[in-house]
Amino acid sequence: MATEKIILGIDPGTTIMGFGLIKVVGKKMEFIQMNELLLQKYNDHYVKLKLIFERTIELIDTYHPDEIAIEAPFFGKNVQSMLKLGRAQGVAMAAGLSREIPITEYLPKKIKMAITGNGNASKEQVAKMLQSLLGLKTLPKNLDSTDGLAAAVCHFYNEGRVEVGKSYSGWDAFVKQNSSRVKK
């Protein structure tokens, strides 16, 4: 009998958090859902973080993913933007860790390379390739949800590979792998 699992992919953001879910049966993937959490109408950064956490928990409790793939923040020139993006990612990771779901981070270039074969592909190229791969009838207006879906598909493609990114299977694993950052 073919093994079955669900992968939740997340593209964290403080304006829009994109997410997508796929089901893997044996060596085939099936599209479940993609959507986005719109946060631009909220001015308070802490409210945004709370909403990201709550939506991620809701997705986990609804779809029961076996694994989470999350896009790692890219390094930009704006330190404040990086800090906010890192917090959004951390809150989504904390939601997964609180439910003891293994999490793997992927750099944006790694995700683009897995989907299109080009680490410098545009969001539109990634979306079109996902549309072809998963038989999606239409694409969303904002491509944050396809970015979240791309993280899940990237994780599926990298399954079984030794070096896929940082993985955490729970709080204990996170603390052990980041012991130099944890106060004793």
- Cβ count within 10 A of residue 151: 32
Interacting residues of 111 by C-beta distance below 8 A, sequence separation 6+: 71, 126, 147, 150, 151, 154
Find out whether 145 and 35 touch, Cβ atoms under 8 Å.
yes
Judge whether 100 counts as a catalytic residue: no
22: closest CA among 163, 166, 159?
159
Annotated binding site: 11, 71, 144
Annotated binding site for Mg(2+): 11, 71, 144
- Catalytic residue chosen out of the listed positions 36, 67, 71, 105: 71
The phi and psi torsions of 179 (rounded to 5 degrees) equal: -60, -30
Judge whether 11 counts as a catalytic residue: yes
- Catalytic residue chosen out of the listed positions 36, 105, 144, 147: 144
Judge whether 61 counts as a catalytic residue: no
- Catalytic residue chosen out of the listed positions 11, 36, 105, 147: 11
DSSP for 22-55 reads: EEEETTEEEEEEEEEEE-TT---HHHHHHHHHHH
Which residues are the active-site residues?
11, 71, 144
